[in-house]
Structure 1
Amino acid sequence: MLADLRAFFIQLKRERGNQFMKRMYGLIVLLAGFLIFAFFYGGSSSEKTDASTKSKTIKTYKVGILQLMTQPALDQIHKGIVAGLKAEGFKVGTNLKIDYQNAQGDQSNLQTMSSKFANENDDLTVGIATPAAQALAKAANGKTPVILAGITDPVGGGLIKSNAVPGGNITGTSGESPLKSQLNLIKKILPKAKTLGIIYTTSDHGGTYNAKKMQKIAAAAGYTVKMYTISSTNDMQTVAEKMASEVQVVYAPQDNDVASAMKTLVSVTNKAKVPVFPAVDTMVKDGRVATLSVNQFNLGKTSGVIAGKVLKGKKTSTYPLTFITKGEMTVNTTEAKLLGIKLPASVLHEAKTKGEIFK
């Protein structure tokens, strides 16, 4: 009896051991399968998650560009700004969104568009022409950075405290015309001309500033200077006719309304055989004789580079204004021939090698 009972317990122990081992084998197989699945599929999923996370961390900056009106010089500045931002690593469609607005010379549009930028919390805004920059500055109210793109006399325009230390949320470039060099060019091409007419817009701060500064320089050089003003492009025909009958040569400063009405001006002066020397290279292409001027695209590009550095953390308050005053020779040989003007060989050579010739 005892032997039978002992045999029974031995058999029971063996059966339980076999069941335990089967369960252990099953657990090991299940664990191995899980590890294999995690290795082949879990790693791939993790990599996708990491890539997705990285793509989501790329910040898209929003920049508002406000242009006063459509005219060749300002259009070139706009293109340069985009190129400058790209040079600093900010590319449209990748990490940059540009909201470009053109006020078409309307003051109410400037105010509305500037307020739009402020309400949408743009990371930064850029003003092309003094009125545009002034509207942006007012709307930003010392908060959003404002970059100046070729603004004449920004201190006098109430935009910054000083050129060396702007002191607020505004910095950028000033593209003041090389007036003395431009007057010397007029002397070289027309040595016998003694009466100089200067035309500008009364409401354009930059135009007024440049016109009056050139008036002093020309008077000191011995010219008889006559000043003519327009309040809008509608005045150009009448004022140009009067001016063409009283002067030997005309200087057109960096003035937005004058630039916009340049075709009207030239149509009048050409009839009177009075040459026009503009402040900006883009005006020469449209029918003026010649100029030594700041390249407007390069001016805009410098502003774009500054904008990029500010987006990266550079402080506008201590970022000195950048002045670009070196002129490039630009001539229009067709216009010169039309007016019976023989361009000096030195002027043509400089335009050919360092500037541009329009035919």
Structure 2
Amino acid sequence: MKRKIAGMIVLVLMMSMFGACSKGSNKDMITIGIGQYAEHPSLDNCREGFLAGLKSEGYEEGKNIKVEYENAQADNSLAGQITDGFVSKKVALICAIATPMAQSAYGAAKDTDIPVIFTAVTDPILAKLAKDDKTPVGNITGTSDKLPVEEQLKMIRKILPEAKKIGILYNTGEVNSVSAIEEYKALAGNYGFEIVESGITATADIPLATDNILTKVDCINNLTDNTVVSSLPLILKKAAEKKIPVFGSEVEQVKSGCLATVGIDYYDLGVKTGKMAAQVLKGEKKASDMNFEIIDKAAFYGNSAVAKNLGIDLPKDLTDTAGEMFDSIAE
């Protein structure tokens, strides 16, 4: 009887050991922290692309990496708490999604040996995450979602030949938005436009700011501003009631009800970022030796359902070369 019990114990122990081996040992896991500034589709796509980029280079969640994911819900103080937490846990790498999160991550990790890889940062130089020559300010690098401003203005002029005033809502506290606004203002006159800007400081400001700007413009152009994008459904609803077109800055905004955009694919941006992170994890490069990268491939995306609702015919030369066209509005 004793031999039988001992044999059963050995069998159970062997099965436990086999299970542990098949799942991978925690000791073999590399822990990385992903901090996302706000919850909206473009940043979600960045995160999914980042994980896909890592996987393509041999780093897969649950196999050899453990992912600590946190979302700041567009709260700067929470972003700081999240990145401080990653540092206290001594993660191997921090992925920071969007400018405010990247700034928090750099501040939290700059006196450690933890590398920071950012994505969806419109102007890393203005955000003080890179020097004027695009080299890193420290152990930090990543990818920029810089808007193709001139191409966007050309597209708006082609779709709305009579338009004069473009409204832009933006958070004055987001340096990425401030940078984009300045570029729009510098180039708008070349295409016969005037930029009507409306700066806000919080989500609560958006309903009134939207109502106000809609009385002054022929269309609205949406940036990658995290505060504004988080309230995009409200802006689209108010604009639709007045039959005023809203142009997006990337494909997910067009899916959600913006008329059109010339923009980048945020999933692809995330993939590029993940591959950069993999180089750091493998020890092939240091973040401090890698210049930030920009995706310069932009495509036209249009929504024919929105165009129909607005009574607008999208030019055939745009739709024929579109990266993707949508015939419905995503909920």
How does the TM-score come out when normalised to structure 1? 0.81
After TM superposition, the structure 1 = structure 2 runs for residues 290-301 of structure 1, keeping only pairs within 5 Å, are: 290-301=260-271
Report whether the alignment pairs 1:265 with 2:235.
yes
Question: Are the structure 2 counterparts of residues 163 and 101 from structure 1 closer, same or farther at C-alpha, using a change threshold of 3 Å?
Answer: farther
In structure 2, the residue matched to 1:96 is: 65
Shift of 1:242: 1.3
SS of the residue aligned with 2:302? strand
Give the counterpart letter for 2:316 in structure 1.
A
In structure 1, the residue matched to 2:307 is: 336
Tell me, yes or no, if the aligned pair for 2:43 and 2:120 is still in contact at 8 Å.
no
Shift of 1:168: 1.8
Tell me, yes or no, if the aligned pair for 2:222 and 2:247 is still in contact at 8 Å.
yes
1:217 to 169, 187, 191: 187
Tell me, yes or no, if the aligned pair for 1:58 and 1:95 is still in contact at 8 Å.
no
After TM superposition, the structure 1 = structure 2 runs for residues 104-115 of structure 1, keeping only pairs within 5 Å, are: 104-115=73-84
Shift of 1:172: 0.8
In structure 2, the residue matched to 1:326 is: 297
After TM superposition, the structure 1 = structure 2 runs for residues 1-359 of structure 1, keeping only pairs within 5 Å, are: 59-142=28-111, 143-162=113-132, 164-313=134-283, 314-351=285-322, 354-359=323-328
SS of the residue aligned with 1:326? coil
Q: Identity of paired residues, percent?
A: 34
Tell me, yes or no, if the aligned pair for 1:83 and 1:301 is still in contact at 8 Å.
yes
Shift of 1:184: 0.8
Shift of 1:163: 5.1
SS of the residue aligned with 2:28? coil
Shift of 1:57: 11
CA distance in 2, matches of 1:358, 1:128: 30
Give the counterpart letter for 1:318 in structure 2.
D
Aligned length: 305
1:77-135 Cα offsets, whole Å, 9 max, x none, are 01011001101100112111110111111222111111111011111001001010111
- Residue segments in structure 2 that go unaligned for 5+ positions in a row: 1-16
Question: Are the structure 2 counterparts of residues 309 and 95 from structure 1 closer, same or farther at C-alpha, using a change threshold of 3 Å?
Answer: same
CA distance in 1, matches of 2:237, 2:26: 56
Greater radius of gyration (CA): 1
SS of the residue aligned with 1:181? helix
SS of the residue aligned with 1:350? coil
Tell me, yes or no, if the aligned pair for 1:76 and 1:296 is still in contact at 8 Å.
yes
CA distance in 1, matches of 2:158, 2:131: 38
Tell me, yes or no, if the aligned pair for 2:129 and 2:137 is still in contact at 8 Å.
no
Give the counterpart letter for 2:301 in structure 1.
T
Tell me, yes or no, if the aligned pair for 1:80 and 1:297 is still in contact at 8 Å.
yes
Structure 1: which 4+ aligned runs deviate by more than 3 Å?
Answer: 55-59
Shift of 1:335: 0.8
CA distance in 1, matches of 2:188, 2:132: 28
SS of the residue aligned with 1:158? coil
Higher mean C-alpha displacement, 163-172 vs 280-289: 163-172
CA distance in 2, matches of 1:145, 1:259: 28
Tell me, yes or no, if the aligned pair for 2:236 and 2:257 is still in contact at 8 Å.
yes
- Residue segments in structure 1 that go unaligned for 5+ positions in a row: 1-47
CA distance in 1, matches of 2:60, 2:324: 29
Give the counterpart letter for 2:44 in structure 1.
D
SS of the residue aligned with 1:70? coil
